[in-house]
Amino acid sequence: MSNIVYLKTPLTDNIIESFRIGDKVYISGIIYTARDAAHKRLVELIDNGKEIPFNIKNQIIYYVGPSPAPPGKPVGSCGPTTSYRMDVYTPKLLEKGLKATIGKGNRSETVIEAMEKHKAVYFVATGGAAALLANKVKKADVIAYEDLGAEAIMRLEVLNFPVVVANDVYGNDLFKEGIAKYKRESS
């Protein structure tokens, strides 16, 4: 049975350890955005022993490149990007203290193992609900890599941003569980 959790950022190990796959989570507070190009730059900084442009410890990165903000709104549509494109970079960010990512689709075994090792989770946001998700963003500021346009790193202030736990710190995978359950029920 899944739980409904109202979460305030930043995250802690105790909070992360309480999550189980299938839990519905409503995030309030600060989350950061980053996609492929920004991830590449962040990992290059780490590899060169340099500081990244924000404190990643206990934070959440949302894989999104919001569309331009319409008048009176902080962002335009902001639906999740397919997560596997960041899988090559994610373990290094988890090692630096990142506690959660948000995207769509499943993660590689390497990322799942890194989440287990570093006590992190993966949330999925509903693809196709970009306008609804944008309504949960109350403030947005570009904090790094403005030259990347929509893929710049942004600091978002969100209120009750809806996600589901797809991978927990125990190595459980909602995608695999769903397939196994479907196979059992259809047999």
Residues marked active site are found at: 39
CA-based R_g, the chain, Å: 16
99 burial level (CB within 10 Å; 0-12, 13-18, 19+):
buried
Q: Are 138 and 74 in contact (CB under 8 A)?
A: yes
Between the alpha carbon of residue 168 and those of residues 39, 80, 115, 158, 163, the distances in Å are 22, 19, 8, 22, 13
